[in-house]
């Protein structure tokens, strides 16, 4: 369909910009929903605090009335057993006092029940609102990731598609890769943090009941287990976010970020050893350079593990006055450079990035003897 057609880049830009505008508007709508939910949550929080104070007051009143009612009943028993020793007025007073206290106690107990039901209802509604806020914030963050990806990594795809059939195929593969990445993220979030947070919600509902039925020690034990689940969920969320774009890249620079990333890769790929070295004084580079270098190393390491089935990888950065040299060497099964049609997507992607940086890429690979990928990137002048 695409092979003999010339792309209208202007139309493509219009469509692309409209898509970004639609995404931005959707993000704003989600943000409004999140803020409205947050305000409702805060209002319910205040109302819940008032209800809890009222419950405390009613409980004290109930305790007092229960004691008074018990004393009145004891007085009534004494009067009933020695009826002839009391006047009619004293008998009537004993009966009326006991009856009045019993009525008041019933009313207060009914009020306590209503307040407890209102408190439980507020708790349930707040949990639902909190879940809505969390989901909205998560979606906004994901939309930001997509927008950043579209505006940074895909801005030159239209031109690439116009230049050659190979780059047309590259664009199609980018779309397929995006969809595959979305599926992977969806699975990871569903099977990881989403399941864990659902478990947290269910277990948090049980803590109050455990406290009432089994005591504080059992409740504390449940809370300790809950903390472990929350900590695991947080770890999973951080890992997913780190895979998308390490936040440390903007704060710390490329070398600390790569150290952390490669350490994380080893944690999630048992049996793989990755050795990292950085020679000479590192420098902070423009954001697009640091992102590109990170992606180049990330793609090389991913290919070495996924396709090369490597057990040992060496990553080296050499900082020179005018260039930065990068090498990624593995002991994997290698490949034949003359027969990589089905696996060329990663290489094409790295070549595209190197071209944008006006750098060079050199790949040496021998079947069953591993692969060496070298990048030479010119540095911007200060």
Measured distance CA(55)–CA(51) in Å, rounded = 6
Q: Which fold has domain 7-143?
A: Helix Hairpins (1.10.287)
Closest to 138 (Cα-Cα) out of 191, 180, 186, 178 = 186
- Which residues, in sequence order, are CB contacts of 90 under 8 Å at separation 6+? 79
Only one residue has tokens 């879940």, namely: 131
Write phi, then psi, for 214 (nearest 5 degrees).
-120, -5
Strand, helix or coil for residue 374: strand
Quickly state the pLDDT bin for 2 (edges 50, 70, 90). very low
Burial class (CB in 10 A: 0-12, 13-18, 19+), 341: exposed
Quickly state the pLDDT bin for 337 (edges 50, 70, 90). confident
Q: So what's the pLDDT on residue 324?
A: 94
Strands 360-366 and 312-319, bridge-based pairing:
unpaired
Q: Are 226 and 204 in contact (CB under 8 A)?
A: yes
Model pLDDT for residues 205-227, shown as the tens digit of each residue: 777 777 777 778 877 887 887 77
Q: What is the CA radius of gyration of the chain?
A: 34
pLDDT over 80 (residue 233): no
Q: So what's the pLDDT on residue 205?
A: 72
**Which segments of the chain does DSSP mark as H helices, in order?**
9-81, 88-153, 157-163, 165-189, 195-214, 216-244, 248-252, 254-268, 287-306, 345-356
Closest to 253 (Cα-Cα) out of 319, 314, 302 = 319
Closest to 118 (Cα-Cα) out of 51, 216, 178 = 51
| CA distances in angstroms from 163 to 5, 166, 262, 329, listed in the order given | 12, 9, 35, 32
Q: Are 69 and 105 in contact (CB under 8 A)?
A: yes
Tokens of 72: 């009145």
pLDDT, mean of residues 290-303:
88
Residue 314 pairs in a beta bridge with 275, 329
In this structure, of 111-115, 346-350, 370-374, the range with the lowest mean pLDDT score is 346-350
Strand, helix or coil for residue 361: strand
Asked if CATH classification 3.30.565.10 holds for the domain at 248-378, the reply, yes or no, is yes
Q: What value does the mean pLDDT of the chain take?
A: 79
Model pLDDT for residues 51-96, shown as the tens digit of each residue: 899 999 989 998 998 898 888 888 888 888 877 787 788 878 888 8
- Greater model confidence, 244 or 15: 15
Quickly state the pLDDT bin for 362 (edges 50, 70, 90). very high
Measured distance CA(225)–CA(202) in Å, rounded = 13
| CA distances in angstroms from 359 to 253, 258, 289, 349, listed in the order given | 20, 20, 11, 14
Quickly state the pLDDT bin for 1 (edges 50, 70, 90). very low
Residue 361 pairs in a beta bridge with 375
pLDDT, mean of residues 2-7:
45
The DSSP 8-state label assigned to residue 193 in this structure reads I
Strand, helix or coil for residue 313: strand
Q: So what's the pLDDT on residue 50?
A: 92
| CA distances in angstroms from 382 to 101, 120, 353, listed in the order given | 87, 62, 22
Q: Where are the domains of the chain?
A: 7-143, 175-245, 248-378
Measured distance CA(328)–CA(299) in Å, rounded = 10
pLDDT, mean of residues 239-243:
63
Q: Do domains 7-143 and 248-378 have the same CATH topology?
A: no
Question: CA torsion sign, 55 to 59 to 61 to 62?
Answer: positive
Q: What is the pTM of this model?
A: 0.44
Closest to 177 (Cα-Cα) out of 7, 372, 345 = 345
Model pLDDT for residues 25-45, shown as the tens digit of each residue: 777 777 788 788 888 888 888
Residue 219 pairs in a beta bridge with none
pLDDT, mean of residues 137-158:
69
Measured distance CA(2)–CA(35) in Å, rounded = 44
Highest mean pLDDT among 20-29, 51-60, 152-161, 336-345: 51-60
pLDDT over 90 (residue 273): yes
Q: Which helix (H) or strand (E) holds 363?
A: strand 360-366
| CA distances in angstroms from 6 to 25, 169, 239, 296, 352, listed in the order given | 31, 14, 41, 30, 21
């Amino acid at each position: 369909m695409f092979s003999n057609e010339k792309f209208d880049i202007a139309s493509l830009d219009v469509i692309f910009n409209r898509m970004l505008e639609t995404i931005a508007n959707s993000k704003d709508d989600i943000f409004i929903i999140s803020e409205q939910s947050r305000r409702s949550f805060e209002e319910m929080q205040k109302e819940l605090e008032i209800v809890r104070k009222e419950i405390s007051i009613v409980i004290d009143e109930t305790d007092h009335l229960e004691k008074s009612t018990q004393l009145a009943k004891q007085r009534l028993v004494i009067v009933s057993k020695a009826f002839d020793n009391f006047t009619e007025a004293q008998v009537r007073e004993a009966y009326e006092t006991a009856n009045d206290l019993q009525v008041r106690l019933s009313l207060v107990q009914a009020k306590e029940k209503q307040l407890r039901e209102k408190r439980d209802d507020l708790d349930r509604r707040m949990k639902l609102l909190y879940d809505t806020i969390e989901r909205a914030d998560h979606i906004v963050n994901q939309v930001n990731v997509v927008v950043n990806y579209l505006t940074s990594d895909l801005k030159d795809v239209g031109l690439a598609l116009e230049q050659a059939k190979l780059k047309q195929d590259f664009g199609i593969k980018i779309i397929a890769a995006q969809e595959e990445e979305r599926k992977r993220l969806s699975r990871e979030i569903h099977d990881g943090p989403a399941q864990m947070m659902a478990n947290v919600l269910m277990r948090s509902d049980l803590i109050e009941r455990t406290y009432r039925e089994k005591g504080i020690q059992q409740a504390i034990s449940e809370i300790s287990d809950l903390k472990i689940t929350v900590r695991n969920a947080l770890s999973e969320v951080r890992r997913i976010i780190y895979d998308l774009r390490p936040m440390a890249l903007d704060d710390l620079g490329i070398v600390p970020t790569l150290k952390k990333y490669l350490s994380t890769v080893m944690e999630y790929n048992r049996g793989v050893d990755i050795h990292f070295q950085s020679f000479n004084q590192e420098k902070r580079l423009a954001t697009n350079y640091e992102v590109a270098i990170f992606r180049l190393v990330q793609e090389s390491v991913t290919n070495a593990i996924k396709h090369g089935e490597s057990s040992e990888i060496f990553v080296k950065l050499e900082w020179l006055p005018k260039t930065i040299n990068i090498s990624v060497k593995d002991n994997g099964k290698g490949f034949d450079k003359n027969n990589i049609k089905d696996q060329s997507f990663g290489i094409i992607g790295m070549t595209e990035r190197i071209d944008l940086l006006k750098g060079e890429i050199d790949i040496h690979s021998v079947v069953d003897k591993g692969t060496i990928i070298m990048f030479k990137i010119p540095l911007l002048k200060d």
